[in-house]
Amino acid sequence: MKTISHPGKRINDLIESNYQLRRELFVTKQHLSSVQHRYDMALKELSIKNYGISSIPPIPMTNQVLEWITEYGVPWEALYCPECRGWFTELDNSFPYHLESCRCKCDEKENHNG
């Protein structure tokens, strides 16, 4: 025969469980609010500096790339190879007017394999 527990105990358990869930929800909302605030502040900082979200390169820049950006006054996109997803390692003699002889990881792999 099955024993029936008192409904008051079940109600108290549900109340406690509800309280725990509400507390977890509150903490999660606070965390999301904090993350959203930091995201909004970062976007605001980018807009103040006249940078768009696309102006952030997908990989860290090397010192050589930073020097080239400063020297030639070009955006990072001009020095990035989307095929190998890496930076150029050597520039064309007539850079920034021509990019044909710029070298990157793709060229190094072709020379190594070929």
Give the residue ranges of the chain where pLDDT is below 50: none
The pLDDT assigned to 19 comes to 95
The pLDDT assigned to 59 comes to 79
The pLDDT assigned to 109 comes to 63
How far apart, in whole angstroms, are the C-alpha atoms of residue 43 and residue 11?
47
Per-residue burial over 82-114, b if 16 or more Cβ lie within 10 Å, else e, is eeeebbbbebeeebeeeeeebebeebeeeeeee
How far apart, in whole angstroms, are the C-alpha atoms of residue 15 and residue 9?
10
Please check whether residue 72 is in contact with residue 95, taking contact to mean a CB–CB distance below 8 angstroms. yes
What residue type is 58 in one-letter code? Answer: P
The pLDDT assigned to 21 comes to 95
**What confidence tens digit (pLDDT) does each residue in 75-94 have?**
888 888 888 888 888 888 88
The pLDDT assigned to 20 comes to 95
